[in-house]
């Protein structure tokens, strides 16, 4: 499921009413949310884009990614540009040393066959996360973003994302019988869409 159905959207509103009327009202106003169409079917490039956007605003991430694409214009693919000899140019795009190192590690993993989209798609989210976080510079947040925005998993709850956590905490903190975790569990197995609402409300979502 790439988008909430009207029926599921009504269920989300009813669930939200159990602990936060303001959240229910926000969901009503926003309507059913869903994933956008992937910008690329190239998993390596998709991952590279997420790495570039780590801990940055959406606007800053887009700006730096545009510079990376321009620097890699002569290469067949962006990730093929991400090799040791391009490190200085990558840093000149505004990337930190660690992000440059992570991009180079991604290219190496791709060459070694560790970024096979079909194989990773067969894994459940936990196993996929384990496989991805074994790569240098890829943490749980990045693995969650891949499962959501590349593989379109429906039940990822990325508590490592500051915007998601803080926004949801704002709706839950005054309720006597729910924590952030227990309230989110009410939306399972569709918590990915709850995260989409949090980003939309915070107006600070990841670059897909």
Q: What is the pLDDT of residues 130-186, one digit of tens each?
A: 999 999 999 999 999 999 999 999 999 999 999 999 999 999 987 778 889 999 999
Domain span at residue 192 reads: 6-35+156-202
Q: Of 84, 80, 64, give the one whose Cα is nearest residue 72.
A: 80
How does the average pLDDT of the chain come out, rounded?
Answer: 93
Domain annotation covers residue 66: yes
pLDDT bucket at 60, cuts 50 / 70 / 90: very high
Are 114 and 2 in contact by the 8 Å Cβ rule? The answer is no
Is 90 exceeded by the pLDDT of residue 38?
Answer: no
Is 80 exceeded by the pLDDT of residue 208?
Answer: no
Are 80 and 25 within one domain? Answer: no
- Count the helices and strands in the chain (H runs, E runs): 13, 0
Domain annotation covers residue 207: no
- Number of domain units in the chain: 2
Domain annotation covers residue 1: no
Are 15 and 53 within one domain? Answer: no
Which is more confidently placed, 43 or 176?
Answer: 43
Are 105 and 72 within one domain? Answer: yes
- Taking residue 84's Cβ as centre, other Cβ atoms within 10 Å add up to 11
Q: Is the dihedral of CA 122, 124, 128, 131 positive or negative?
A: negative
What CATH number has the domain bearing residue 116? 1.10.340.30
Are 75 and 117 within one domain? Answer: yes
Are 166 and 198 within one domain? Answer: yes
- Whole-prediction pTM: 0.89
Are 128 and 72 within one domain? Answer: yes
């Amino acid at each position: 499921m790439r988008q909430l159905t009207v029926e599921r959207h009504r269920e989300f509103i009813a669930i939200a009413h159990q602990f936060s009327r303001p959240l229910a009202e926000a969901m009503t106003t926003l309507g059913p949310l869903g994933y956008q169409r992937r910008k690329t079917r190239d998993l390596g490039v998709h991952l590279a884009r997420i790495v570039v956007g780590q801990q940055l605003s959406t606007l800053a991430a887009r700006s730096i990614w545009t510079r990376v694409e321009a620097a890699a214009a002569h290469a067949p693919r962006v990730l093929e540009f991400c090799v040791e000899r391009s490190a200085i140019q990558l840093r000149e795009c505004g990337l930190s040393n660690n992000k440059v190192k992570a991009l180079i590690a991604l290219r190496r993993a791709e060459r070694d066959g560790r970024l096979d989209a079909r194989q990773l798609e067969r894994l459940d989210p936990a196993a996929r996360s384990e496989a991805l976080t074994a790569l240098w510079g890829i943490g749980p947040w990045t693995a969650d973003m891949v499962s959501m925005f590349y593989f379109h998993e429906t039940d990822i709850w990325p508590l490592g994302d500051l915007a998601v956590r803080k926004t949801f905490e704002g709706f839950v903190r005054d309720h006597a019988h729910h924590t952030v975790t227990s309230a989110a569990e009410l939306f399972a197995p569709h918590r990915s869409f709850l995260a989409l609402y949090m980003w939309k409300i915070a107006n600070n979502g990841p670059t897909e």
